[in-house]
Amino acid sequence: MAVDVTRLVEKQETRVPANLKLPIYLDNHSTTPVDPRVLEEMLPYLSDRFGNAASRSHSFGWIADEAVETARARVATLIGSPSGELVFTSGATESDNLAIKGAAEAYRGKGNHIITAVTEHKAVLDSCKRLEKYGYRVTYLPVRSNGLLDLIDLERAIDSKTILVTIMAANNEIGVLQPIDEIGKLCRERGIIFHSDAAQALGKTPIDVVRQNVDLLSMSAHKAYGPKGVGALYARQGIQLSPTIDGGGHEHGMRSGTLNVPGIVGLGKACEISREEMPHESCRIAGLRNRLHDNIKSSLDEVYVNGSMEQRLPGNLNMSFAGVDGEELMTAIDDVAVSSGAACTSAHIEPSYVLKALGISDELAQSSIRFGIGRFNTQAEIDYVAAKVIHTVQQLRELR
């Protein structure tokens, strides 16, 4: 029988501090607010500096092109790459598609085997499934119960026809950080291209594509306090990619189309801020994450963290609350923006494929909540959310 969530909300007695503004945003893995410093730098390119960066015959184009190249250098500095090896895109989804499909087509003469993991973002999984329709073989590696890939499984999966390994740096649901250094070393030794989706990792955990032997890296601005609709792909010099968008030869012929100059400026500024503030910011956010975890765990039993707590993004906390439906919990805490581990389909709710890959039961998977803590969250917000979640879970369990 469904729980009367409206009745529960009416009974909610969590005290709201006078200085706390509701609703509280804790869904920073979905998207982040644009940092005011980023917006400030973007605004001139939405007004007076409106030129097309591909227009080389007048000052309007020169100014736009200079802004693009400044942004390119800022992004490159954050990930430890030469600026000439960056391609601007519409976001990490496009970057994933260009990296995977572009490499697969360019290296078809060497082989047709691709390796990925079952917990990858849909942009990677669906790209791989599309390639399977064209005769490519794809190995989908399992993960351990903590969400981490087993390097022995990866090594065993490699064969003479393997041309690409694509493993994300940080998972979008459970925040688990994969062993990118070891994967990159293994791929480089075997002469295999290594692509990593770093949409969630950019600006939150150190990335050095040269040291980590990453050949292709996907990035998105809106996960790192930049604007939506812009991202980048790092492509190491010498790596061949067949373009997925033709028409004009922009971005070294890899991605045609008029550049989103304001968005690119915003991405560059977001990366500059992250480079300067990441060490301090990551520690602060991890402290807030741990505070939320400890408060909840100290007051509720049968609460489980999904994924490794040690190898994890600083702001991620994915928890399952036994005996509680995740959708009902989110409805009851309607002044807190979080995500459920369940994905809606046309007629019913399916448990998250990421959580199921960890071996979690359907019931526990459907009781999961993803808390995404970010730059602008405060300790007062975390304490309020913890108290609200604790009270609500207790009430839901009683009603059941």
Tell me the pTM.
0.94
Tens-digit pLDDT profile for residues 176-191: 999 999 999 999 999 9
Domain end residue (candidates: 216, 241, 274): 274
Whether residues 42 and 29 share a domain: the answer is: no
The domain in which residue 317 lies consists of 5-34+277-399
- Residue 23's identity, in one-letter code, is P
pLDDT band for position 328 (50/70/90)? very high
Whether residues 253 and 104 share a domain: the answer is: yes
Whether residues 63 and 91 share a domain: the answer is: yes
Q: Which residues partner with 25 through β-bridges?
A: 337
Whether residues 281 and 270 share a domain: the answer is: no
Q: Lowest mean pLDDT of 22-36, 149-163, 258-272, 333-347, name the range.
A: 333-347
CATH code, domain carrying 366: 3.90.1150.10
Domain end residue (candidates: 274, 296, 319): 274
pLDDT at 17 over 90: no
Whether residues 125 and 148 share a domain: the answer is: yes
Mean predicted confidence (pLDDT) in 202-229 = 98
Domain end residue (candidates: 274, 296, 323): 274
Q: Which residues partner with 303 through β-bridges?
A: 321
Catalytic residues: 344
Whether residues 65 and 181 share a domain: the answer is: yes
Non-local CB neighbours of 194 within 8 Å, separated by 6+ positions: 164, 165, 166, 167, 183, 184, 187, 188, 213, 214, 215, 216
| pLDDT value at residue 309 | 96
Chain mean pLDDT for the chain: 94
Tens-digit pLDDT profile for residues 137-169: 999 999 999 999 999 999 999 999 999 999 999
CATH code, domain carrying 270: 3.40.640.10
| pLDDT value at residue 24 | 98
Whether residues 255 and 134 share a domain: the answer is: yes
Provide the domain count of the chain: 2
Whether residues 95 and 214 share a domain: the answer is: yes
| pLDDT value at residue 347 | 42
Tens-digit pLDDT profile for residues 358-367: 999 999 999 9
pLDDT at 195 over 60: yes
pLDDT at 377 over 90: yes
Whether residues 265 and 323 share a domain: the answer is: no
Whether residues 146 and 247 share a domain: the answer is: yes
Beta strands in 206-351 (DSSP E): 216-220, 231-235, 303-305, 316-321, 336-337, 339-340, 343-344, 349-350
Which H/E stretch holds residue 283?
A: helix 261-299
Residue written as tokens 């009603």? 399
Tens-digit pLDDT profile for residues 53-107: 989 899 999 999 999 999 999 999 999 999 889 999 999 999 999 999 999 999 9
Mean predicted confidence (pLDDT) in 110-121 = 98
Q: Cα dist. 343→128, 327, 339, 350, 353 in Å?
A: 20, 10, 10, 6, 9
| pLDDT value at residue 344 | 42
| pLDDT value at residue 277 | 98
| pLDDT value at residue 5 | 56
Non-local CB neighbours of 91 within 8 Å, separated by 6+ positions: 220, 221, 222, 228, 229, 230, 231
Asked if 326 and 3 touch (Cβ cutoff 8 Å), the reply is no
Whether residues 261 and 288 share a domain: the answer is: no
Mean predicted confidence (pLDDT) in 262-266 = 98
Whether residues 258 and 344 share a domain: the answer is: no
